[in-house]
């Protein structure tokens, strides 16, 4: 069995007030895209994970953590041979690890013949990370709270985008970004509500409605980020928007052909990129 684990983009991301548990409330529109990892599953007496583990041990990887948690909750004694093939850039703000975890949960339920309720599966997913429940379903979703309060939105009309990830890595990325924010960066969700209204009305995406609070501090947090974004714009990208906690940047294009042209222009400028489209699907069993 092969299960596809699709990436996401944050079409908006606004940081709101602080919660009693110490986290910050957010409001965001999550959108799944066609870029995906692949998780291969086969019966086995024990749990094993191989493949592209992105610098983690098998036991540390979210796929293995998801598998062991599901085993525990379902009282399952059987194992599985799991092999992960990565295509989603690691730690780029596109949810690759969380999507892999959700793929493990849904795939192993099928492999082992379990049919937990949607509520039970969401609870298991939420234990692994605030955004893991989104990847059980995907599509276009309004996320609130810690990102785990989800409201499905009408699916977007097919929209093409080009995504580029700067070769930038910092420790404690998300915590550092939050730490760089000050009260002037806080909003009340109004930008996201504008986008939600547009999606519900026309099912289309307008570049002028994209927004991410972290864009206001990304230049100071990510070394070389401003220069990379400028190169992307100079190469022909109309805009360059941060996804999640970054550093991945994405831009809308008119269609697939326009995206391919932009890819060539970015390549000539020394920037690797990926042409993707929005999707209403998250997991496909092959």
Active site residues: 8, 131
C-alpha 271/C-alpha 179 separation (Å) is 29
Burial class (CB in 10 A: 0-12, 13-18, 19+), 139: buried
Burial class (CB in 10 A: 0-12, 13-18, 19+), 165: buried
| Phi, psi dihedral angles at 167 (to 5 degrees) | -75, 65
Number of residues that this document lists for the chain: 286
Tell me 208's DSSP state. G
């Amino acid at each position: 069995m092969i299960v596809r684990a699709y990436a996401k983009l944050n079409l908006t991301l606004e940081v709101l007030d602080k919660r009693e548990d110490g986290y910050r409330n957010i409001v965001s529109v999550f959108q799944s895209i066609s870029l995906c990892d692949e998780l291969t599953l086969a019966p086995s007496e024990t749990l094993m994970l191989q493949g592209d583990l992105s610098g983690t041990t098998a036991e540390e990887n979210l796929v293995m953590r998801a598998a062991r948690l599901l085993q525990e909750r379902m009282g399952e004694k059987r194992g599985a041979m799991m092999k992960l093939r990565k295509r989603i850039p690691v730690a780029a703000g596109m949810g690759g690890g969380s999507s892999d975890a959700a793929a493990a949960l849904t795939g192993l339920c099928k492999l082992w013949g379990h049919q937990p309720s949607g509520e039970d599966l969401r609870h298991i997913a939420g234990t692994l990370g605030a955004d893991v429940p989104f990847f059980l379903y995907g599509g276009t979703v309004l996320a609130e709270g810690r990102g785990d309060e989800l409201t499905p939105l009408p699916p977007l009309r097919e929209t093409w985008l080009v995504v580029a990830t700067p070769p930038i890595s910092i420790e404690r990325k998300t915590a550092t970004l939050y730490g760089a924010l000050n009260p002037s960066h806080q909003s009340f969700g109004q930008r996201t509500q504008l986008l939600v209204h547009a999606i519900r009305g026309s099912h289309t995406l307008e570049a002028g409605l994209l927004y991410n609070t972290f864009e206001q501090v990304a230049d100071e947090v990510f070394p070389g980020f401003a220069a990379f974004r400028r190169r992307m714009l100079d190469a022909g990208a109309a805009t360059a928007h941060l996804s999640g906690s970054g550093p991945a940047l994405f831009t809308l294009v008119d269609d697939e052909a326009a995206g391919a042209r932009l890819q060539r222009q970015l390549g000539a400028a020394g920037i690797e990129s990926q042409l993707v489209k929005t999707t209403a699907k998250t997991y496909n069993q092959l």
